[in-house]
Amino acid sequence: MKHSKLWTLHLLCGLILLFVMALHMGTFHLDRFLKWYDLPLSYESVMARGKQLAYLLIYLPALAAGLYHGFYGLNRIAAELGMGERAEKAVSTLLIVSGVAIFVFGAYVTIKTFVLGCPA
């Protein structure tokens, strides 16, 4: 039961990533072809967008969804390798600690950019 809930969350995060990455690709990489709008990519423009609440509200959930989706996938791959229970638990712990650390750092940079308008 536990893994079915985690797997459902994994799929939900995948859907969130599909939406966010499509938005990202269309906005930042395919703008010349899609002609949505011209978005400058200079340092000053990126920092100015970082101060917008909409970007904060997109970046943090996207970061969380991406990390969960990736690290849960790695955890399931590791579990299928047939290692012992202790090794599987150690890998799971390492992935959780790594994922949380990366999220904390990413959230710190995102929030600091939003509040101060400057990188960490």
Does residue 98 surpass a pLDDT of 90? yes
pLDDT, position 36: 61
Predicted TM-score of the model (pTM) = 0.79
Kindly state the tokens that stand for 86.
Answer: 């202790």
The whole-number pLDDT of residue 87 equals 92
Domains recognised in the chain with CATH numbers = 2-116 (1.20.1300)
Q: Taking residues 62-78, what's their average pLDDT?
A: 92
pLDDT, position 83: 87
When pLDDT is cut at 50, 70 and 90, the band that residue 42 belongs to is confident
